[in-house]
A and B are shown apart, each in its own frame.
Chain A
Amino acid sequence: EAGVAQSPRYKIIEKRQSVAFWCNPISGHATLYWYQQILGQGPKLLIQFQNNGVVDDSQLPKDRFSAERLKGVDSTLKIQPAKLEDSAVYLCASSLEYLLAGEGYEQYFGPGTRLTVT
């Protein structure tokens, strides 16, 4: 079974530029998550999708970050314009359907995209 795919693996941009990250979840996983992991910290959820609908985006800086999940499969996370403090690893994860059967479904993580803003 293929894992969660992310691209690119690395990206370097200048502040005020825009950048986009792509994620392809595990086949059949209805729930998709984007986490931001700043160096030396644990990951923090930015946005959670159930199919193509948003479940939780309470910690997404909506003035500069946006995300979409068209057709309930692949997802794109965009930053425009980027700031120095956006330098981080962006992790995508997926799991089986949110709140199904009351079990704590494992979240499977991709390899992440390391973003450096100069």
Chain B
Amino acid sequence: AQTVTQSQPEMSVQEAETVTLSCTYDTSESDYYLFWYKQPPSRQMILVIRQEAYKQQNATENRFSVNFQKAAKSFSLKISDSQLGDAAMYFCAYQETSGSRLTFGEGTQLTVNP
């Protein structure tokens, strides 16, 4: 079974600084999808960024980028120019095939200090 591990239960960053959240996963598949979701206190799960395993290029979305290391099964999220609105719980998630279940990590609580 696939597993997703987030080893940092909590992280903090100063406003305008950069922070990196870590994620590792375990799978025997060669093609899959990886995601970072943001969950603010409202509980609404919001997609931040997506990476297809067959793509070597790291995904970027504005201030958010990933460092995808397929051989190491590592998928970290970098948030640049952190803003107060970035404060939330961040979940790393794995998806084996299109539309199948998401397997989530335990989450990292990010605090942004003014």
Contacts and interface: CB of A to CB of B under 8 A. Distances in A.
A94 to B, nearest CB: 11
A112 B46 CA distance: 13
B45 A105 contact: no
A107 B35 CA distance: 11
Given A104-B33, A104-B50, A104-B95, A89 B43 contact: yes
Contacts of A42: 4, 91, 93, 104-107
Interface residues of B, number: 24
A93 B107 CA distance: 18
B42 interface: yes
Interface stretch (A13-21, A63-71, A72-80, A95-103): A95-103
Interface in B64-97: 91, 93, 95, 97
A54 interface: no
B52 interface: yes
B36 to A, nearest CB: 12
A37 B20 CA distance: 24
Given A99-B98, A102-B98, A111-B42, 4 more contacts: A43-B102, A96-B99, A104-B50, A111-B44
Interface of B: 4, 33, 42-47, 50, 52, 91, 93, 95, 97-107
Interface of A: 31, 33, 35, 40-45, 48, 56, 89, 91, 93, 95-107, 109-112, 114
The 7 closest A-B pairs by CB, nearest first: A42-B104, A98-B99, A104-B33, A109-B45, A45-B101, A112-B43, A104-B98
